Amino acid sequence: MPAPHLYELYKDAARRRREPVRLTHRELDVLRRVALGMGTAQIAAQLVVSPSTVRKHLENAFGRLGVSSRTAAVARVFPEPEAL
């Protein structure tokens, strides 16, 4: 692994290169729960919506983020564990 200070510089530069993506509050709520390991049914129950609504929020978030999976979406929105 490179020197810690160089790695921090690299991470900062990578963050600046990415264009900010605007997600709705609900899309962020759903992605936070995905990052915590919750499934669609659990998220739906917690947010008091249907599982298809959760899937639609994920689909919309994937499109805005330019990703095709839950893992990629979480990595894009929450690159650092403390960001949760």
DSSP state of 20: P
Which two structure tokens, joined as six digits, stand for 63? 């499109």
CA 36 to chain centroid: 11
Neighbours of 70 (CB within 10 A): 17
pLDDT in tens, 54-83: 999 999 999 999 899 999 999 888 877 665
Predicted pLDDT at 9: 72
Q: Provide the residue type at 53 as one letter.
A: T
Neighbours of 31 (CB within 10 A): 24
CA 37 to chain centroid: 12
Higher pLDDT, 31 or 18: 31
DSSP state of 18: S
